[in-house]
Amino acid sequence: MSKHTGEAFTTPTDDTPRPEVDGFDLRAWIAGTAPVTRSVTVYGRPDLQGEIEALRDDLAETDDPADALTIARTLEAKRAEMTGSALRFRFRGLRNGELEELRAATAATADADGVTELDYRILERQCVAPAGVTWGDFATLHTTLGAYFMRTIMRTASEAVTGGGVDVPFSSASSALIKDSGKS
């Protein structure tokens, strides 16, 4: 470091490579944008989770090989049943004005959990997949699956609205498959 006045306070040259921006078409980029989406899997048979856990514990505790096999088969059948009840929902963020439009068109009624018809209608508007889910379907699912369903769905839908840390998701499984696909 030099003893010349002020040299310690200068910023060194930044040689970090920058992306090329010549020819970038901002309006084309804007036209290609879309709201954030988030997805979540919900199980229509979450009641089986407790049965599967109990069977797993029973399997760990038994010393009888015949009982172990019976328990293992029952456990796997329950797992298959629960897995078969899975449904993946995908929600998008709301566009400007959509929330206000829904508020103006919806009466303020709340059920015992404090969820309103407006909440269900917002979910209906945000739901990209599965196609055709209505606000009434969300209300019915809330009744049949309870707080588990609403907490899971509303958290995911809320993250779609707020962005919730948007990034490009990474899949180690897809990367490994592609890497290995060149090997025969």
Single pTM value for the model: 0.70
| Residues of the domain holding 46 | 36-161
- Could you read off the pLDDT of 27-82 as tens digits, one per residue? 888 898 888 888 999 998 988 999 999 999 999 999 998 999 999 999 999 999 99
147-178 residues labelled b (16+ CB within 10 A) or e (exposed): eebbebbbebbebbbeeeeeeeeeeeeeeeee
- Higher-pLDDT residue of 170, 48: 48
Does 144 fall in a domain?
yes
Q: What is the pLDDT of residue 51?
A: 93
Given a cut of 80, whether residue 111 has pLDDT beyond it is no
Tell whether 119 is covered by a domain. yes
pLDDT at 2 over 60: no
CB atoms within 10 A of CB 38: 22
The token pair that represents 68 in the structure block:
């172990």
- 18 in a domain, yes or no? no
Report if residue 180 sits inside a domain. Answer: no
- Token reading at 74: 């029952």
**Residue 48 counted as domain residue:** yes
Number of domains present in the structure of the chain: 1
Is the residue at 27 inside a domain? no
